[in-house]
Structure 1
Amino acid sequence: MISLNEAKKKAAYKAVDENITSENKIIGIGSGSTIVYVVERILQLKNLLNKECIFIPTSFQSRLLIIEGGLNLGDIDQYSEIDVTIDGADEVDENLNAIKGGGACHLREKLVAEAAKKFIIVADYSKRSTTLGEKWKQGVPIEVIPFAYKRVMNSLKELGCENPILRMAKAKAGPVISDNGNFIIDAHFGLIEHPKELLEKIKLLTGVVEVGLFVNMAKNAYFGNEDGSVDIK
């Protein structure tokens, strides 16, 4: 049995090998621990890729990975159409719906995913579930405007979340601040049988900027397994 990190690496490498080619000119790079291996593999194959290829980051982390790797850095404002985006996930259900936002980057991640002709998820076996909420117990990440967070939390209770939590920073006193200057609420709804309906209800709340439910977006998901194999859905 291999480690979670090794499983992530195998999934990331296979996803890059099968989805990033010399024909790709604009590539979206997601965020999180799995993406480190995605960029690692891209750098190994750098000489086989289009030298003018532009990489679009979804966070400060992925921006640094692109810059430090000597890759061409672009921005979603410059390149609104992306050939392929590869990103991780906190949980993926059997229909390839996902929960994202554990790293508070889901607004930019969703923008870059939606702009892509092909959105690919990479994850280890611990992130794979039948129904969202089965594995990821921290709740759905919701980015909110700071002055609206209390009202949004009250509204989330009306939607069925018993105890919405304002995500607090671990190395400073106060809440987590997203790259966009907003707060993050984690809202646990138990098993999410109908993610599209829940997404729509939360998005309608005044003050909500984005919701970490990625519904009907991924074309494929690559899961690194305990035995070293990779499943593709």
Structure 2
Amino acid sequence: MTDSTIESAKRAAAIQAVSEHFDPSATHVGIGSGTTIVYVVEAIKEASTNPHIRFVPTGYQSRQVIVQAGLTPIAFDSLSEDVMLDIAFDGADEVDEELNCIKGGGACLFQEKLVAERARKFVCVADYRKNQSRLLTNWPTIPIEVAPISVPTVLHSLRALGSPNPKLRTTLLAKSGPLKTDQDFFIIDAPFSTLLTTSDVSSGKGKGDGSDKTWEVNKLSRAIKELTGVLEVGIFSGLNGTQAEALRSQDKVNMNTITGGQKPVAVYFGMQDGSVQVRTAEAS
């Protein structure tokens, strides 16, 4: 497929996602990173230029997109602790049937996860290439943000977990050294076998805990996150924002300990033929 087909697919998905989920009366909106988000911001600007909306970027690139559109950015760490984002729009590198996502190809995964978990709902916008039945089908690795001093240790631990050849991500000019994130951390890209979903484990397709060389999405994410030196893992799984809100409403005493969800409530895939395929949490 041509580049123009892919860009048209991204634009179509962005327009429909914004049309169905963006509320011009919102107060705080999260804006993710990547090429697809440019079309999301364009669609938002077409829908409303409400100066009272504060847009929370997930990195330098998304902040520039917000500013260039004439919208008002606000840093994540400037938010009052009681403020939830009305919605967050972001892309993904791959999405499976249960709406688990791999993110981090653009090296913004830590801030992307902060924003997703602070939103009442996260809506993902992507093109048809990202639509797969299981994670690590087409996208080759899991991005992991790590402290520079911990790189050798984390690489060794990832190999022990079953990753055959995890590598430190370098800049486009290899002589410039490792790529640095907005936190001045490094990114390790770790390949694994195609990940199982929770339904795969339930149906006996593998243990999913690494003992039989299979990993289920949530279990692998937790195993990597527990490694000393890992700041964040580019697997977005577990609850979505709607599910997290329901838990908060049930547990009034400990509601402040329940963060938002990492998973999207809906994913909009722009297709080759110009249509948009929508996958929702209810249907997954």
Q: What displacement does 1:51 show?
A: 2.9
Q: Which runs of 5+ in 1 are unaligned?
A: none
Q: What displacement does 1:78 show?
A: 2.4
1:54-93 superposed matches below 5 A? 54-79=54-79, 80-93=83-96
Q: What displacement does 1:81 show?
A: 1.4
Could you tell me which residue of structure 1 aligns to residue 277 of structure 2?
231
Pick from 234, 237, 240 the counterpart of residue 212 of structure 1. Answer: 234
Is this contact kept in 1: 2:30–2:57, CA < 8 A? yes
- Aligned-pair identity (%): 47
1:162-177 superposed matches below 5 A? 162-171=164-173, 173-177=176-180
CA distance in structure 1 between the partners assigned to 2:28 and 2:104 by the alignment: 23
CA distance in structure 1 between the partners assigned to 2:217 and 2:40 by the alignment: 27
Say whether residues 1:116 and 2:138 are aligned partners. no
* Cα 1:117/1:170, change in 2 over 3 Å: same
Q: TM-score, normalised by structure 2?
A: 0.79
AA of the residue aligned to 1:226? Q
Pick from 240, 262, 267 the counterpart of residue 221 of structure 1. Answer: 267
> 1:106-129: CA deviations, max 9, x gaps?
000000000000100000000000
| Secondary structure of the structure 2 residue equivalent to 1:23 | coil
Q: What displacement does 1:232 show?
A: 1.0
Q: What displacement does 1:198 show?
A: 0.2
Q: Which runs of 5+ in 2 are unaligned?
A: 197-215, 239-262, 280-284
| Secondary structure of the structure 1 residue equivalent to 2:86 | strand
CA distance in structure 1 between the partners assigned to 2:59 and 2:112 by the alignment: 8
Q: What displacement does 1:40 show?
A: 1.1
Pick from 25, 30, 33 the counterpart of residue 31 of structure 1. Answer: 33
> 1:110-159: CA deviations, max 9, x gaps?
0000000010000000000000000101x000000000011000000000
CA distance in structure 1 between the partners assigned to 2:78 and 2:179 by the alignment: 28
Pick from 220, 223, 227 the counterpart of residue 198 of structure 1. Answer: 220
Size of the aligned set, in residue pairs, is: 230
Q: What displacement does 1:43 show?
A: 1.6
| Secondary structure of the structure 1 residue equivalent to 2:157 | helix
Of structures 1 and 2, the one scoring higher in RCO (CA 8 A, sep 6+) is 1
| Secondary structure of the structure 2 residue equivalent to 1:117 | coil
Could you tell me which residue of structure 2 aligns to residue 134 of structure 1?
137
CA distance in structure 2 between the partners assigned to 1:52 and 1:167 by the alignment: 39
Could you tell me which residue of structure 1 aligns to residue 212 of structure 2?
none
CA distance in structure 2 between the partners assigned to 1:42 and 1:158 by the alignment: 45
CA distance in structure 2 between the partners assigned to 1:215 and 1:199 by the alignment: 8
CA RMSD of aligned residues (A): 1.2
CA distance in structure 2 between the partners assigned to 1:98 and 1:72 by the alignment: 28
Q: What displacement does 1:187 show?
A: 0.2
> 1:61-113: CA deviations, max 9, x gaps?
00101111111111212224101000000000011000000000000000000
